[in-house]
Chain A
Amino acid sequence: MKAIHYSVIPGNSFGYILLLGILGALTTVGMGAAYYMEHNGHIVTGMNNQIVWGIPHVFAVFLIVAASGALNVASIASVFGRSLYKPLARLSALLAIALLAGGLAVLVLDLGRPDRLIVAMTYYNFRSIFAWNIYLYTGFFVVVGVYLWMMFERRMNQFTKIAGFSAFIWRLTLTTGTGSIFGFLVARQAYDAALMAPMFIIMSFAFGLAMFLLVLIPTYAWTHRDLGDVVLERLRKLLGIFVASVLYFVLVYHLTNLYITEHHGVERFILLDGGVYTQVFWIGQMLIGGLIPLLLCLTPLGRPRPMILLASTLIVIGGIAQIYVIIVGGQAYPIEIFPGKEVTSSFFDGFTTIYQPSIPEILLGLSGIGITLLITTFAIKVLPFLPNSLADKDVDPDFTGQVDATSVSPTESAAV
């Protein structure tokens, strides 16, 4: 394989400025929405005392989960020694940081008292998974930052593997922490499952790689750099395996609940008669985010680049749907305080809550994506994250002039 040369993008075209402008506007509008929510209180959102976490959490958790998954490509290169992915490692790490920043911004700005962020950084209750996560999230910036430094600085290249390995372990821990926010909740029927942690890890693989492809392909097209089919073909199939794995975990989660009588109520709610939540599950999560991308990733149908972009977009939409079902659906189903009883009260006990997100909270959620892409777009102009060429002849150690359409090797699927 040839030596890889990285360079910044010129970033002086009208398109680039326009893109920055759009992302900046998206971010600004989101910040304005956060200010509006902070000023008036959460009364201006659709959240209430029944649905306490809404759309901002859906976006925040999606982005945080995707952040750890976006690091996947770098991990395959550094930890598992697959040289084909090595040129992509810098972008992978950048996107991981950007996604986490976007997700955290939304999470923090949705707090009832965002002005007390300093309190969250100075008062700790170490029995709280949220408190662990504060360390895991801030630590992730440091660990991935160091990893990037090792990759950028030629004298430090020798430490790339160890830094990459640390980042790999860190992000597995981080997503375990994110999944455990729900896994460790005994109060609600939809949570309280150890499976949440590994399910979130596998979700992160799919969401993170989908986001990575959604950044990689347009960036190379718009900057007129070569992007070979070999690497894309590998990533597409890998994505297919991840989507299949997510579906497997979802299947096991629901089968377990269906076996246990105590959980029949919540299963019936999500799978059959939960109205919008049932629709989001079957149409959003399973069809749009699961079966269609699976078809696109694992059959020749999805080989053209627009199809890869379509599959990735569907995985992102389906991922947001999945987290919506977990977070909002899990709260909409009433807490079973009195099993075996029909319950009514002035506080909506036993009542399925309808959640109607308001415009400001949707704008805040979307601004997380804006922040992520703004950071990424800006960073590739100021630092050489992108290889000059990702053409097959430049990156594929086994380049023969033919596109290798065989399936992903067992090492790769095991590696992730």
Chain B
Amino acid sequence: MSIGRRDFLKAGAIATTATALAPGINLIELAAARSPEQAASAVNRWGLLIDVNKCAKGCTACVDACRKENGISDEGSPTTDAQWIRKVTTKDKATGYEQAFPVMCQHCEHPPCVDVCPTGASFKRKDGIVLVDKHICIGCRYCMMACPYKARSFIHEEITDQSHNAPRGKGTVESCTLCVHKIDRGDGSTACADACVDENHKAIIFGDLKDPRSEISRQLKAQPSSQIRADLNLNTGVRYRGLS
């Protein structure tokens, strides 16, 4: 098959136009919700930026919102009840300086829980969210041994009154999903971040770490931030500002 000069130029013009327009079209698509058939894409990396200085002492709005959103019930047993997000208070041993802020699954780029999971139930989506596949989790708890952030909980008993947002099962392990159901729905936020805005603290920003125009990326670029246990080099998706 031969291709004429005119056809060649036409094809070239279409290709050039397509190349020029594609990134823009792509961005518009990404801002919308994904359909259930569409897989998560490595174009995104979802994360959180938590401003410790804005986090109000005694406020647990993010924790409460997470529990409500994901149906984390209080079974009356503090040592075995699941906690996806918790307020941690630290006190410098030398200076006595105190800080309080939320800690949850840090959605590492290199998650130790995923490395150690024998069946692959612990996995990382292409968009950076670390999840547990409840269908193939055998409940060995090796991921809980491996997580440097104590982010995971084991379901010790039958759970009733579950939220359809987050199915949970006795004998399996779970942790913060970064409100994956909301992300996939196109909400563009997490329950904890929403709650923090509602309280007018705005200490939690959710966004796409790979999109340079996102609020989270701009804030991270503008001011210093840190990762918990940065020495482990896990490149966490959850970043902190003002963490001493």
Q: Which residues of A contact B (CB under 8 A)?
A: 38, 40-43, 47-50, 52-53, 111-114, 116-117, 119-120, 123-125, 127-131, 134, 181, 184-188, 331, 335, 337-338, 340-349, 353
Contacts and interface: CB of A to CB of B under 8 A. Distances in A.
B90 interface: yes
Contacts of B82: 49
Contacts of B170: 41, 112
Given A48-B156, A187-B146, A346-B87, A124 B229 contact: no
B145 A52 contact: yes
Nearest to B84: A347
Given A49-B79, A123-B120, A111 B171 contact: yes
Given A124-B118, A337-B228, A48 B79 contact: yes
Nearest to A116: B138
Which secondary structure dominates chain B's binding surface? loop
Contacts of A40: 157
Residue from the set B89, B157, B171 with the largest chain A CB neighbour count within 10 Å:
B171
Nearest to A117: B138
Interface stretch (B91-99, B177-185, B191-199): B91-99
Interface stretch (B13-21, B26-34, B109-117, B204-212): B109-117
The 4 closest A-B pairs by CB, nearest first: A112-B139, A112-B171, A130-B118, A48-B79
Contacts of A181: 142
Contacts, number: 168
A344 B88 contact: yes
Contacts of B121: 123
Contacts of B156: 41-43, 47-48
B173 interface: yes
Interface of B: 75, 77-83, 86-94, 103, 112, 114-121, 136-142, 144-150, 152-158, 170-173, 228-229, 232
A125 B120 contact: yes
A131 B86 CA distance: 31
Contacts of A185: 112, 116, 145-146
Nearest to A341: B90
28 contacts: A42-B156, A49-B80, A49-B144, A53-B141, A112-B140, A112-B141, A112-B172, A113-B137, A113-B138, A113-B171, A116-B138, A117-B138, A125-B119, A125-B120, A127-B114, A127-B116, A181-B142, A184-B116, A185-B112, A186-B146, A187-B147, A187-B148, A337-B103, A337-B228, A338-B90, A342-B90, A344-B91, A345-B103
A49 B115 CA distance: 20
Which secondary structure dominates chain A's binding surface? loop
Contact of B144 (A52, A342, A347): A52
Contact of B119 (A114, A119, A337): A119
Contacts of A184: 116
A42 B140 CA distance: 12
A117 B94 CA distance: 49
A203 B121 CA distance: 32
A75 to B, nearest CB: 28
A43 B148 contact: no
Contact of A130 (B80, B81, B142, B147): B142
A50 B152 CA distance: 10
A310 to B, nearest CB: 35
Contacts of B141: 52-53, 112
A188 B142 CA distance: 12
Contacts of A331: 145
Contact of B115 (A38, A53, A120, A127): A127
A41 B157 CA distance: 5
A278 B229 CA distance: 28
A413 B88 CA distance: 52
Contact of A111 (B103, B117, B138, B145): B138
A323 B121 CA distance: 27
Contact of B153 (A38, A49, A342): A49
A191 B10 CA distance: 65
A113 B141 CA distance: 11
Contacts of B157: 40-43
B41 to A, nearest CB: 22
Contacts of A131: 118-119
A125 B139 contact: no
